[in-house]
Amino acid sequence: MYRTHTNGELRISDVGKEVTLVGWVSKKRNLGSLVFIDLRDRYGYTQVLLNEDFPIANEIRNEYIIQVKGIVSKKEVANPKLATGEIEVVANDVKIVNTAELPPFIIADNTDALEDTRLKYRYLDLRRPVMQNMLINRAKIVRACHSFLDRNDFIEVETPILCLSTPEGARDYIVPSRIRNGSFYALPQSPQLFKQLLMVSGMERYYQVARCFRDEDLRADRQPDFTQIDVETSFLSQEEIMTLGEGLISEIWKEALGMEVKGPFRRLKYDYCIDTYGSDKPDTRFGLEIHDVSEILKASDFEVYKNASTVRAIVVPNIASTTSRKVQDNLDLTAKKFGIGKFGFFKYINGKLESSLLKFINEELQEKLVKELALKENDLVIVGAGYRMRVCPCLGALRTEFGKELKLYDPNTYDFLWVVEFPLFDYNEDTKEITPCHHPFTKPLDRDVHLLEEHPEKVYAAAYDIVINGYEAGGGSLRIFDQKEQSKIFELIGLTEEKIERKFGWFVNALKYGVPPHGGFALGLDRLAMLINKTDNIRDVIAFPKNLSAVCPMSNAPMPVDESQLEELGIEISK
């Protein structure tokens, strides 16, 4: 028997017991006649006391694995920071189970290691209690999902990892076939078509903790391979599906954080979110809403405002006097990134507006602007002009930055809401082209079906996203179950009959055989784990993640393979 107790288990009630512990040496303090060792395992720490009768103590180093037999004793001075802080184990036998080299960084919650070093030695990084707790919380999320969905009569079904390449919004990872030389599988971006086919099959309630793969540029909350909690149902309305999703979120928060989350969550329409917060995943824990000042500023003599589709503004409190030209130039970089040129800046100081643009704006318009924005002393007004779908997201990005920088919200709170009534298509105002906003199997709202022929850009979808603290934590939609309606959507996005048959023929064929009304949603497991663990870095909650270059620093994947493997697959790498 390696141990009788874990290192997080012993309490004052165990004083006098003879115990056996095992674990890693987290810290060793040599006081001459006494040696104190903090022994660590996944469950916590126990302080071990060795007296001068243990010459082996001189051999022990940090991260050695040792086994200790001894008696539980009450500490003279308790450590309130540890669950085991009232006791220590006085050793009567110590064995070194295994040795360890000096680690490349400090293995503790607070470490000085760079992220790439941590990822290279991820197995050591994961020894840190903070990292272990993140993975434990992730496991609690999965456990809550199984419990809730099993209890609600859902059936867990696994769908293929090797499948056909279909357009779903991102680049596929493709896998060459050795048996069918020159042909390729794709790794699934999601189980979308398979879960819909399970509804055609009459399963009615399906779920899966599904692995998904997308070959896209990475960022702090995105990985090339990720996990989603995938749910699909038949014969439920949109409201019933959303209520089900709320129940699942509530169960997750209760299991992982012991927090009661009550529904129903707020429902905010997509257009309202864009116009008010500049985002379809708004964080509404703070204000800084966007104001439409088109009517006022388009009446000015400033050509940029006069000719713009829309003019919008946000008001940032208490920073006007400290906002320098250099700060304004840095903010303008955000404007350029969104394609709207530069911002206009107005400061409200000593009861009046200050700006280089005031020469184009008469006093009457200035008064209207002050009144419309309800300006207060030291407010900074940031104005953007151009297309709505450039200006609003640009101001929304600034809103998010200022909300965090100025600490306008409590980071320990959670803000749950649904965004509903998304456009069915993304519409490019320059090219007048449309592409599916979600995926081409999303059902248009019944009220808008008549607009498909003449004005598809005005059609809204039976789609819904769950948003938590400004993150899209998941989303879903009702699906098209009518063959003619599906064909119409394919036609509108420019798919030829040949391409439809090649990409979706197997799926379209299923629509001929009595497809039930169905819909569902998927929650991003990694993003839920981020939110519950209060980190903004998705790599913190994945055991073995890739870095921002989509490389695993530990294994060095991806790497070239042997020429013999390529020859077997009929692949030649161009130089």
What digits encode the pLDDT tens for the residues 344-392? 999 999 999 999 999 999 999 999 999 999 999 999 999 999 999 999 9
User: Do the Cβ atoms of 302 and 360 come closer than 8 Å?
Assistant: yes
Percent of the chain past pLDDT 70, that is, above it, reads 99
User: Do the Cβ atoms of 144 and 249 come closer than 8 Å?
Assistant: no
Structural element, H or E, at residue 135: helix 129-151
- Of the listed ranges 64-73, 252-261, 484-493, the one predicted with least confidence: 484-493
Q: Which of 253, 191, 255, 280 is nearest to 228 (CA)?
A: 191
- Strands 87-98, 44-51: pairing kind: parallel
Q: Kindly state the tokens that stand for 106.
A: 């400090």
Task: Please state at what angle helix 497-510 crosses helix 192-200, rounded to 10 degrees.
Answer: 40
Residue 369 pLDDT:
97
Residue 255 pLDDT:
97
Residues of the chain with CATH 3.30.1360.30: 286-405
Please compute the mean of the pLDDT values over residues 260-264 and round it to a whole number. Answer: 94
Please compute the mean of the pLDDT values over residues 167-174 and round it to a whole number. Answer: 80
Q: What span, in angstroms and rounded, lies between the C-alpha atoms of 532 and 473?
A: 11
Residue 168 pLDDT:
62
Residue 33 pLDDT:
86
Please compute the mean of the pLDDT values over residues 47-75 and round it to a whole number. Answer: 94
Rounded to 5 degrees, what angle do the CA atoms 331, 467, 270 make? 75
**pLDDT reading at 167 higher than 70:** no
pLDDT band at 327 (very low <50, low <70, confident <90, very high): very high
Please compute the mean of the pLDDT values over residues 233-240 and round it to a whole number. Answer: 98
Bigger pLDDT: 53 or 226? 226
Q: What span, in angstroms and rounded, lies between the C-alpha atoms of 377 and 358?
A: 18
Q: How many CB atoms lie within 10 A of CB 559?
A: 8
Tally of CA atoms within 13 A in the half-sphere of 1 that contains its CB: 8
**pLDDT reading at 169 higher than 70:** no
CATH, domain range 131-269+416-550:
3.30.930.10
- What pLDDT digit, counting tens, does each position of 493-527 carry? 888 888 888 888 888 899 999 999 999 999 999 99
- What pLDDT digit, counting tens, does each position of 281-298 carry? 999 999 999 999 999 999
User: Do the Cβ atoms of 291 and 315 come closer than 8 Å?
Assistant: yes
Residue 53 pLDDT:
79
Residue 54 pLDDT:
86
User: Could you tell me the pTM of the whole model?
Assistant: 0.92
Q: What span, in angstroms and rounded, lies between the C-alpha atoms of 547 and 540?
A: 11
Please compute the mean of the pLDDT values over residues 288-315 and round it to a whole number. Answer: 96
- Strands 65-74, 18-30: pairing kind: antiparallel
Q: What span, in angstroms and rounded, lies between the C-alpha atoms of 556 and 246?
A: 40
pLDDT band at 533 (very low <50, low <70, confident <90, very high): very high
β-strand partners of 163: 186
User: Do the Cβ atoms of 214 and 190 come closer than 8 Å?
Assistant: no
The CATH fold of domain 12-98 = OB fold (Dihydrolipoamide Acetyltransferase, E2P) (2.40.50)
**pLDDT reading at 59 higher than 70:** yes
Mean pLDDT of the chain: 94
Residue 493 pLDDT:
85
CA distances to 48, 411, 520 from 200, rounded to whole Å, are 62, 44, 14
Q: What span, in angstroms and rounded, lies between the C-alpha atoms of 130 and 128?
A: 6
- Strands 205-213, 155-156: pairing kind: parallel
Bigger pLDDT: 411 or 169? 411
The dihedral formed by the CA atoms of 364, 369, 371 and 372, expressed in degrees to the nearest 10: 130
Residue 170 pLDDT:
81
Residues of the chain with CATH 2.40.50.140: 12-98
Residues of the chain with CATH 3.30.930.10: 131-269+416-550
Token pair 């989509």 is found at: 550
Whether the ω angle into residue 558 lies within 30 degrees of 0, i.e. cis, is yes
- Of the listed ranges 216-225, 252-261, 277-286, 307-316, the one predicted with least confidence: 216-225
The CATH fold of domain 286-405 = Gyrase A; domain 2 (3.30.1360)
